[in-house]
Amino acid sequence: MRVKLVGLNEEMLEAVNGLEELIDFQLYNEKGSNNENLEIINVSKLPEESENVIEVLRGKNNEIRYKKKHHFFRAFSLYLQFLKKGEESFRKSEKSYIDSVGAMIDASRNAVYRVSEVKKILGYMALMGHNRCMLYTEDTYEIEGYPYFGYMRGRYTKEELREIDDYGYSLGIEVVPCIQTLAHLKQTLRWPYGEGVKDTQDVLLVGEEKTYKFIEAMISSLRECFRSKNIHIGMDEAFDLGRGHYLTKHGHVPHQELMVEHLNKVNEIAKKYDFKPMIWDDMFLRCGAPDGGYYDLDIVITPEIANNIPEEVSLVYWDYYNSDEEKYKKLLDIRDDFNNNIIFAGGCWRWSGFAPNYSKTFETTNAALNQCKAKGIKEVFATAWGDDGSETPIYSIIVGLILFGEHGYYNKVEKEWIDERCKSLTGLSMEDFTSLEELDLVPSVKIPNMEVCNPSKYIAYQDLLLGAFDKHLEGLDLEEHYINLSKKYEEIGEKSERFKLMFTMYSKLAAYLSVKSEIGLEIRKAYLEKDKDALRLIAYNFIPEIQEKLKSFHKSFRDLWYKECKGQGFEVMDIRLGGVMARCDSAMYRIKAYLKGNIDKIEELEEERLYFSEHFGGDDCKLICCNEYQKIATQNILSW
């Protein structure tokens, strides 16, 4: 599909040209080109007074009209979408329901995305109509004078951050630094320099001069990299605040007082560098909750709490748990007592293992953003956390990003429209992407999966002999479920060169899970029944097959990781999956020793199996959520 855009400046034409690898089109090049099969589109800006932000039409005249830069890229994607459907003529207009729609990309949980991949993500976001991207970097950026900050973590250089910022700007996307200036700094505070600035393992020491020198180094460094006036300075979940070195030095001081003192000091540093801060608002909400709960409906924001927060600081309400619109309404109403701008952060669930949780993403996002629009919230973004190792590839959540984008331009969003957008932007259907959740939607799991049952993760990592999660898996036909998924993902991958590597990885994962899911139950059953023929088959045939499938999955995962992410971080996956491989060897060793009569029992199989947790997924579902590798892999001491 060849396209000529008339009336677009050279800078924007260059930006459009960079999107050719994402969606199927070719930009007209005057040198050596002819007008055969050429779609000529006139581009112009809408007047400020127009209610519409986008207008696309085809017929006697072909036109794209837009209000702001990011609106053009969405409008262009819409034009191509209708053109691909073979529509001879069309007319489409859109209004803006939310001023700022964006996503927060987590580059702190081992996966630090290559600049080339961040630029692709930004390209997709632009085509979706997003205009803000937050790059979440706890310690994965460069600070002069602090060589151990982000050491061996794949941190971004200043040049890389500038390149990302410049590219976002070319697409009309504001790239906002998103950092931590209080808690969530455990990875970097473990180095010797952290001794002078940390309160506890995870939290900075409030009131210490060295602390603010450290924070100023962070903010001054980021000022050199980003043109945005906005900065997210974190400050969430600082539960240990004032309870470590601070307590020893100063005695007990209430959280609220320490939060206010610290926020005011960091705000002054931010202002010095021409930044307008935003913070996660949970620590201040908890001050007004009788039992300290962030989502309590009886929270009271007193004037004392509200008046101590600088008015120029925006407060980010983060919530990706609730599906009840009325609860979102009440929690938004509670925030009326603040004097600050409120920003909403939802989530594209990719932080509970290998599979995205799309059913929960849709439930929570639709409920939340419907109420945000009703309330007049003007800034929203989707978090894309990577808890416990970023095992879920970033492109697996592309439908979630589309969903957030559509909420910016429609009062109500329909799944049929999301599917149309997905097919146009990716070449695959919405169902192709959402089917990845089926890795966790095994028999008995309720849909939507609001309890975040994630069996694919604990099946992948749990020990063959110790089987800490085996009791949860009893009575489920998991082998057939995963065999079918492996075939499905392979077929989807064959339809898309762009996403083939990701779906191949998922096909290999499902194949591995199909042979590993019930092996622990089979080993123990054969052992208790003294069925040595079954044990022999397991030791000499089944476990080697698991290793073969695991090796294939590991290779596929490695190929995908090194394509999308910097090298640092994958050593964790090598250790985790390599550990499973080694435990397979030990399981064979133990079973063979038993079969040969070298040992008279296998102690690991003697213990009665208990439920790992009784927080079940439902009355008829004994599956649970466990997203901590260390707890899954062993119930012994892995590390001090």
pLDDT digits (tens, 9 = 90+) for 164-199: 999 999 999 999 999 999 999 999 999 999 999 999
From 380, 403, 436, the end of a domain falls on: 436
- pLDDT band (50, 70, 90) for residue 34: low
Give the pLDDT confidence score for residue 157 in this predicted structure.
Answer: 99
Is residue 638, in this structure, part of any structural domain at all?
Answer: no
pLDDT digits (tens, 9 = 90+) for 446-486: 999 999 999 999 999 999 999 999 999 999 999 999 999 99
Any idea what the CATH number is for the domain that residue 616 is in?
Answer: 1.20.120.670
At 216, the amino acid letter reads E
Dihedral of alpha carbons 251, 257, 260, 265, sign = negative
- pLDDT band (50, 70, 90) for residue 352: very high
- pLDDT band (50, 70, 90) for residue 521: very high
pLDDT at 31 over 70: no
Choice among 31-35, 69-73, 147-151, 634-638 with the minimum mean pLDDT: 31-35
Mean per-residue pLDDT for 568-589? 99
d(CA 512, CA 307): 56
Place of tokens 């009791």: 471
Share of the chain above pLDDT 90, in %: 98
Q: Which two tokens stand for residue 380?
A: 């929203």
- Are 71 and 158 within one domain? no
- Are 342 and 479 within one domain? no
In sequence order, the 6+-apart residues with CB closer than 8 A to the CB of 57 are 63, 89, 90, 91, 92
From 436, 452, 471, the end of a domain falls on: 436
- Are 335 and 300 within one domain? yes
Say what the pTM is: 0.97
| CA-based nearest residue to 375, from 406, 332, 324 | 332
- Are 362 and 238 within one domain? yes
- Are 205 and 116 within one domain? yes
pLDDT at 572 over 80: yes
Residue 426: strand, helix, or coil: helix
Give the total number of structural domains in the chain. 3
- Are 492 and 479 within one domain? yes
Any idea what the CATH number is for the domain that residue 8 is in?
Answer: 3.30.160.230
Any idea what the CATH number is for the domain that residue 221 is in?
Answer: 3.20.20.80
- pLDDT band (50, 70, 90) for residue 121: very high
The mean of the pLDDT values for the chain is 98
pLDDT at 272 over 60: yes
Is residue 640, in this structure, part of any structural domain at all?
Answer: no
Give the pLDDT confidence score for residue 633 in this predicted structure.
Answer: 98
- Are 87 and 116 within one domain? no
pLDDT at 33 over 90: no
Is residue 541, in this structure, part of any structural domain at all?
Answer: yes
- Are 398 and 431 within one domain? yes
Domain that holds residue 596: 440-633
From 436, 462, 493, the end of a domain falls on: 436
Give the pLDDT confidence score for residue 29 in this predicted structure.
Answer: 79
- Are 267 and 155 within one domain? yes
pLDDT at 32 over 60: no
- Are 146 and 293 within one domain? yes
Mean per-residue pLDDT for 125-152? 98
d(CA 82, CA 568): 42
Give the pLDDT confidence score for residue 265 in this predicted structure.
Answer: 99
Q: Which two tokens stand for residue 311?
A: 């008015």
